[in-house]
Amino acid sequence: MNGWQTLLYKEILRFWKVAFQTIAGPVLTAMLYMLIFGHALEDHVKVYDQVSYTAFLVPGLAMMSLLQNAFANSSSSLIMSKVMGNLVFILLTPLSYWHWFVAYVGAAVVRGLVVGLGVYAVAAFFTPISFAQPVFIVVFAVLGAAMMGTLGLIAGLWAEKFDQLAAFQNFVVMPMTFLSGVFYSIHSLPAFWQTVSHCNPFFYMIDGLRYGFFGVSDVSPWLSLAVVGGSTLLVFAIGLHLLRIGYKIRS
């Protein structure tokens, strides 16, 4: 293996060695959400015709888990390396900033997709799930994981201690995730909050993924694809720039 492949392997092995915590834990959390909300609201909420509320929850929970774990993987790896002081050993290698980017974001994508697949696999035991547009499922899952892996990279570069990273996750990632339509259709919201949701790229990720499963969505899937693709490219550009200049890692 060459340099970036070794770093990618190291990052994948880092979360895989504690898979009970990094994979099984998030899947269990998503299933608890599904069981509690599905049981409580199954007979009271109808979003799409021919789609049960429990089935409606599955794509949102899968994407929410995917996004949060992709972010956590790259951000926690960087902040731990900075705090423990072993980031210097990677800095001493001849790896370019592109190699760093591919390794950290690639590992985040792998973890996000594994968690998302785990949520779907367990949910399939509780409710039937269709695949109306499989290509959209793959595209939105990969784009979402890549975007959040890069955002985690940016947060890990910016943060200097764990409480700063926790603040970023609690005040940016979590609100955007829970206000993205995981548990509801935005058409059930007041006009103001519908407008807020339309400014949230996480909403387009989840709505696009739902279109892949059910063939119906709150907005055009092509609009969702444009917003998610544009947001991902923007975050990529910022992350690559910060790595190129060595932001908070070369001083």
Question: Quick count: other Cβ atoms within 10 Å of Cβ 128?
Answer: 8
pTM for the full predicted model: 0.92
Dist. CA 228–CA 52, nearest whole Å:
27
Per-residue pLDDT, 174: 87
Task: Name the stretches of the chain with pLDDT < 70.
Answer: 1, 41-46, 251
Answer whether 76's CB lies under 8 Å from 108's CB: no
Q: What is the pLDDT of residue 251?
A: 59
- The whole-number pLDDT of residue 146 equals 97
Helix (H, G, I), strand (E, B) or coil at 200: coil
The pLDDT of residue 98 is: 94
pLDDT at residue 36 in the model: 83
Q: What pLDDT shows up at residue 236?
A: 97
pLDDT at residue 1, rounded to an integer: 61
User: How many whole angstroms separate alpha carbon 23 and alpha carbon 234?
Assistant: 28
Confidence (pLDDT) at 66: 95
Inter-residue long-range contacts of 2-7, CB under 8 Å, 24+ positions, other chains counted: 3/93, 3/94, 3/95, 3/99, 4/95, 4/98, 4/99, 4/100, 4/102, 4/103, 7/90, 7/95, 7/99, 7/100, 7/103, 7/104
Share of the chain above pLDDT 90, in %: 59
